[in-house]
Amino acid sequence: MTSVTFDNATRIYPGADSPSVDKLNLEIADGEFLVLVGPSGSGKSTALRMLAGLEETNEGRILIGDKDVTRAEPKERDIAMVFQNYALYPHMSVRDNMGFALKLAGMDKAEINERVEEAARTLDLTEYLDRKPKALSGGQRQRVAMGRAIVRRPQVFLMDEPLSNLDAKLRVQTRTQIAHLQREMGVTTLYVTHDQTEALTMGDRIAVLNFGVLQQVGSPRELYNHPNNVFVAGFIGSPAMNLGRFDVDGVVAKLGPASVLIDDSAAQQLTPEDQGEIIIGFRPESIELVGETEEHTIPVEIDFVEELGSDSYLYGHLAGAQWRGVGENQVASQIVLRAEPHLAPAAGEVVHVRVREGGLHTFSPATGERLG
């Protein structure tokens, strides 16, 4: 049984004012595929490198299974890494690249060959074993890098943005292959990415980091449907959640001509620090189009319609007032809605929308934490 535990693990770079990873408490269960996601500079790659032994852990502990590996050398941790840039030896064949680490370890040649061919069958690389990396596509090179990790039969896989160098179509194809392969093998895996779509489609659970601090851990559905704070709400989901700062009047949130009914418990959780305001969030698919005479609606003037075949996305702005965004998007005025394909209103039209029951998210402006 191989779990991974970060116990208040902290990394402070020399000369830095704040930790790159700040008291990270995270447990990855035996055989679990956990995705560590966050924007650039969030500390996700640093956390992975701490687990690999490539970065020092200044405070706290890191355990693999029951073994404290905080001060152990990388070679003593029984991990295998897959990098963004493949890191293949250009002068070696695929076979030699995949088996090189085993050769260095002094393994019998026959066993090396057996492991390499088994991994090649799993990854559909058998016909490429005698080719050099330059004769392979980007996706095939990434599968070779995966094969090199698989043949070692490690306790833990570490994957650092392994799909970033692939084109969009190949990225979709390869991420499903990696997720399927990991579930077949059952090896505990930590996968780092900045792409929240990858996180939602691949992970058993997702851990969201921002400025080195763990924001939330949960299943993809939990993070999408029940974000704990404004950062997670705005980061998880594509298109992103619509977030706006409204004034509160009893159980009604108002912004210009827009009004939204909020839950009484959310209104009661507001404090003086919130200054009579509340952050309202709703996803593009959580709205319904209603008549302009209906109460508690948001009027949106459509600027652009994006037809995707299966869906139509409406990009617009609040009609009659300025939308007050949140955080980095304080000046953003765009509202994104999803409509039935081929039934979308045209650009220039004003539509009235209401948030469906269960689709409204409310947050404290003072703390950013979820209300209700």
Domains by residue range for the chain, with CATH: 4-232 (3.40.50.300), 241-363 (2.40.50.140)
Q: Does position 202 have pLDDT exceeding 80, yes or no?
A: yes
Q: Does position 243 have pLDDT exceeding 80, yes or no?
A: yes
Average pLDDT over residues 7-29: 96
Burial 78-88 (b: 16+ CB within 10 A, else e): bbbbbbbebeb
Cβ contacts of 216 within 8 Å, gap of 6 or more: 207, 208, 223, 227, 228, 229, 232
User: What amino acid occupies position 132?
Assistant: K
Cβ atoms of 191 and 34 closer than 8 Å: yes
Cβ atoms of 337 and 284 closer than 8 Å: yes
Q: Does position 327 have pLDDT exceeding 80, yes or no?
A: no
Q: Does position 66 have pLDDT exceeding 90, yes or no?
A: yes
- The mean pLDDT value of the chain amounts to 92
71 φ, ψ (degrees, to nearest 5): -110, 5
Q: How confident is the model at residue 176 (pLDDT cuts 50, 70, 90)?
A: confident
pLDDT tens string 134-174? 999 888 888 898 899 889 889 999 999 888 877 888 888 88
What pLDDT score does 253 carry? 96
365 φ, ψ (degrees, to nearest 5): -65, -30
Model pTM?
0.90
Structure tokens at 102: 């085993």
Average pLDDT over residues 351-360: 95
Total H helices, total E strands in the chain: 9, 20
What pLDDT score does 1 carry? 58
Average pLDDT over residues 239-250: 94
CA–CA gap between residue 369 and residue 279 (Å, rounded): 10
Strand ranges of the sheet holding 213-218, from the earlier edge strand across to the other edge = 79-82, 156-160, 188-193, 33-37, 205-210, 213-218
Average pLDDT over residues 245-267: 95
Q: How confident is the model at residue 328 (pLDDT cuts 50, 70, 90)?
A: low
Average pLDDT over residues 298-322: 91
